Structure 1
Amino acid sequence: MDEHGSVPTLSVKNNGDRRVLLVGGEELLGAKQNRVLNTSVMVLPSVTIDVPVSCTEQGRWSYSSENFRASPTIMPRNSRMKNKRSVDLSLEARGSFEGDQGAVWDDISVMQQRAGVSSKTNAMRDVIDANWSSISEYTEAFQPVDGQNGAIFLANGAITGMELFSKEDAFRSIFPKIVGSYAFDHITNTGAQETGIEEASVDGFLKRLTRSRRSTYPSNGEGLDLRFEGDKISGAALVCQGEIIHLSAYDLSSTS
């Protein structure tokens, strides 16, 4: 992955002979600034494409390395949800996957306040690193079972979101990062109250998901980018050859 000297896109070349899935919300470390993928993208073999990103490190514009490397984490759930919805607005207005960069930086400042952390470069990675000991308790405690390719997440008894992948191995490899993204918000939301969870709540969430309004856009890579909004629900999915490759959905009534 190489940068163009501007924040909104990175150039990605797949030198292999298999498709490569880039998952929305994954952070990329290095180059002049750390970035986060604005949406999930499938890169075909022997193809170079531009992928949409946002900066997650406001105070640095100097090389820490020539290329990017994958971070061990994904952007926290609340921030992913907000960035996803800003991309929705950009798609509606301009057909672009560009996010609201100022809002991302503001959100990282809020993360620092909630976590009691100060980063010299306003870097999301610094905030997550400072909470890594607590986050790792969750990533170690939750493990996928055989055959699992998705999960619904709850915090304090309330549904917060859902992640679904087409392949079990893809889900298994990304699962610790996803758990960490939900765990961070739970850890830093000190005012939340524990409540019970009923099976009907899960059923209701899935029904709201299936009834949501949908919009479809060409992906920067293979396939289509599906966006949906509904009754207190928001999400996105990458669809290739009629198959959902990755789907994320968030319950808007929950902020933990």
Structure 2
Amino acid sequence: MEIKIDENIISFNELNVQSYKGLTIIPLKAETSNTMDFLTLNKGFDLGLVEVRECEVEDVNNVIITNNAVTPLILIDGEEIIGAKQNRIVNKTLIVPPKTRMKISVSCTEKERWSYKNNHICNFEQSDYIANSNTRRAKASALDECSFQYKVWDSIDTFSKRCSIKPKTSAMTDCYEDFSKSQDEYLNHFKLSNGQTGLIAIIDNELIGVEIFTSHEIYENYHDKIIRSYIIDSLDFEDNASVDDDKINEIIENISKSEFIKEESQGLGEFIKFSNDYGTGSALIYDDEIIHMPYFKDL
């Protein structure tokens, strides 16, 4: 199967279907895996090569990131950073050049806090999560970045209402933690497949999202976080999700017929947003490769 994003084509194969209760995952494997060397945010933090701080002038929707590595740094759509004055998520997949300090666009995932938790820790740290799939879907459907924040807050408010506790600072991470045991139970049924570079997620018999990378090494770093983002939104559905192959193929094929709009990219590469009658997606293209393509069913 293949998808054409503007003038760029990504071909992939479906691997063995995995299902548990109301969630079905179809692992995907790109036919040609790129060999570009990228540093992930988690690894950058672990190695002490990446620093993320608040802007000097207070700014909820931007932070300053410094990549001190000799390798480009990749951040993916919905990836969360925690700490500083409030937790945030990355608004779009982007690549920070080596030895570069730059401002990046983010959305708040903890709206009831604007202060440092610890006066000695002013930087952001890595999170165990990315935004849940419904929040990423809501953000994807926003007309522009100006409305990202309100979409994210509304979605997290809905998320928190499902929790048995009310997060003190309306933090998305607290909602995830409240469902931690259920997530771990599900995660055992959705193992990383050999060579996997993406997935199709089906909840309650509907295709909810598609995630495609062109590198197994990059996808492997995000597998558990991406799976958890769909698990958390499938917990209300107990019945096994069925797979209508013809319907899924039709949805995937129609992505190539979307309306494609090129937008300014932060960092390296070219950013493309697209939509059709079923859903909305985006793609970061660098060196003629589709580095990451998330696509979501419209809410």
- Same fold by TM-score greater than 0.5: yes
Deviates more, 1:196-205 or 1:100-109: 100-109
Using the TM superposition, give the Cα deviation of residue 100 of structure 1 relative to its aligned residue in structure 2, in angstroms: 3.2
Give the conservation status (yes or no) of the 8 Å contact 1:139–1:176: yes
- Residue 166 of structure 1 is matched in structure 2 by 214
Using the TM superposition, give the Cα deviation of residue 193 of structure 1 relative to its aligned residue in structure 2, in angstroms: 6.0
- Residue 53 of structure 2 is matched in structure 1 by 2
Using the TM superposition, give the Cα deviation of residue 8 of structure 1 relative to its aligned residue in structure 2, in angstroms: 0.9
Residue deviations 1:152-202, cap 9 Å, x none? 111223211110112101001101000000011101x35x86553121122
Q: Which has the higher helix share?
A: 1
- Residue 139 of structure 2 is matched in structure 1 by 83
Q: Which runs of 5+ in 2 are unaligned?
A: 1-51
Residue among 228, 250, 275 paired with 1:229:
275
Give the conservation status (yes or no) of the 8 Å contact 1:39–1:84: no
Distance in 2, matches of 1:35 and 1:137, equals: 27
Percent identity between the aligned chains?
30
1:218 aligns with 2:245: no
- SS of the aligned residue for 1:204 comes to helix
Q: Which has the higher strand share?
A: 2
The AA in structure 1 aligned to 2:122 is: E
Using the TM superposition, give the Cα deviation of residue 3 of structure 1 relative to its aligned residue in structure 2, in angstroms: 1.0
Distance in 2, matches of 1:212 and 1:153, equals: 20
Using the TM superposition, give the Cα deviation of residue 150 of structure 1 relative to its aligned residue in structure 2, in angstroms: 1.2
Give the conservation status (yes or no) of the 8 Å contact 1:38–1:84: no
- Residue 30 of structure 1 is matched in structure 2 by 83
- Residue 201 of structure 2 is matched in structure 1 by 153
- Tell me how many residue pairs correspond in the alignment: 243
Residue among 31, 41, 52 paired with 2:105:
52
TM-score (norm 1): 0.90
Deviates more, 1:121-130 or 1:133-142: 133-142
The AA in structure 1 aligned to 2:214 is: S
Distance in 2, matches of 1:16 and 1:99, equals: 33
Structure possessing the higher relative contact order (Cα contacts under 8 Å, 6 or more residues apart): 2
CA 1:224–1:98 in structure 2 vs 1: closer, same or farther (change >3 Å)?
A: farther
TM-score (norm 2): 0.77
1:207 aligns with 2:283: no
1:121 aligns with 2:159: no
